[in-house]
Amino acid sequence: MTPLDHLRVVLVSTRNPLNIGAAARAMSNFGFTRLRVVAPYDTAFREARSAVGAPELLRNAEEFSTIADSVSDCSLVIGTTAVRTRELLHPLKRLEEGAPLIREHLQTGKAALLFGSEKRGLSNNDLSHCHWLMRIPTADANISMNLGQAVAVCLYELIRANPPAEGAPAPVSATAESLERMTAALFEGMAASGYVKRGSEAASLEKARRLVRRMALNPEDAETWTGAFAKMALALQRNRRNNEGG
């Protein structure tokens, strides 16, 4: 297994199966093999004629119903965005800046590179699963790229990125699955404390998820915080029940 095998290309809510096929072809061109698809609009994507030279890669694509499941084994999750006029709540890096960081991470851990649907891209909820975001520096007059082209450009930049310098090994990061457990425990504590107001549950969960990912925790620290948050949530819930009963 090579470091390139540690990358998961994740296509979220893709509308056109031909674009999935084009992404698979680009992956095959540059030596990447792990394609994941989240809630595609057309379930017949495995027969896409655009996957020239990559039919096996397309047949082996893993299908998921949620982003959380699709990135659960990854310790780095990067979302792609054309930015436009939207307000971003994550660090944003240009492709040439982000690619070497991803390549370095792939030496020791798994990473997921997320691409959104052709029509809307990645939603704020989708982006809440990411550690940071990356954009392709396109011209202002036409910033949106075809999905297959965007995948190809990103993967090309990844394989040409300078390899990490020799030295101390990169630290091992907690997986997305572990961070999602920590997020759930934190959110439960936030709700039990009264911090989460009625009607703001979804926004508060996204905020908790972004906060957890900014902490850049290793597996042991993530488990420690998860246990601590769970204990605090239980204590708050117990106190509230006692107060209501009294």
> What does the pLDDT look like over 46-84, one tens digit per residue?
767 666 778 888 889 999 999 999 999 999 999 998 776
Q: Residue 168 — very low, low, confident or very high, per pLDDT cuts 50/70/90?
A: low
The pLDDT-based confidence of 172 (bands split at 50, 70, 90) is confident
**Count of all residues that appear for the chain in the document:** 246
Structure confidence by residue, pLDDT tens digits, 182-222: 999 999 999 998 899 999 999 999 999 999 998 889 899 99
- The residues, any chain, with a CB within 8 Å of residue 69's CB and separated by 6 or more, are none
Residue with tokens 């031909």: 18
CA distance 8 to 34: 5
When pLDDT is averaged across residues 15-21 and rounded to a whole number, the result is 87
Q: Is the pLDDT of residue 166 over 60?
A: no
Q: What is the pLDDT of residues 95-134, one digit of tens each?
A: 999 999 999 999 889 999 999 988 888 999 999 999 999 9
Cα radius of gyration (the chain): 20
Neighbours of 138 (CB within 10 A): 15
The predicted structure's pLDDT at residue 211? 92
Residue 76: predicted pLDDT: 96
Lowest mean pLDDT among 26-35, 61-70, 163-172: 163-172
Q: How far is CA 114 from the centre of its chain?
A: 5
∠ Cα 119 16 9 (to 5°): 85
Residues 173 and 217 sit within 8 Å (Cβ to Cβ): yes
Residues in contact with 245: Cβ distance below 8 Å, sequence separation at least 6, in sequence order: none
Average pLDDT value for residue range 141-167: 81
11 beta partners: 37, 115
DSSP 64: E
Q: Closest Cα partner for 48 from 66, 27, 71?
A: 27
Residue that the structure tokens 């699709």 belong to: 70
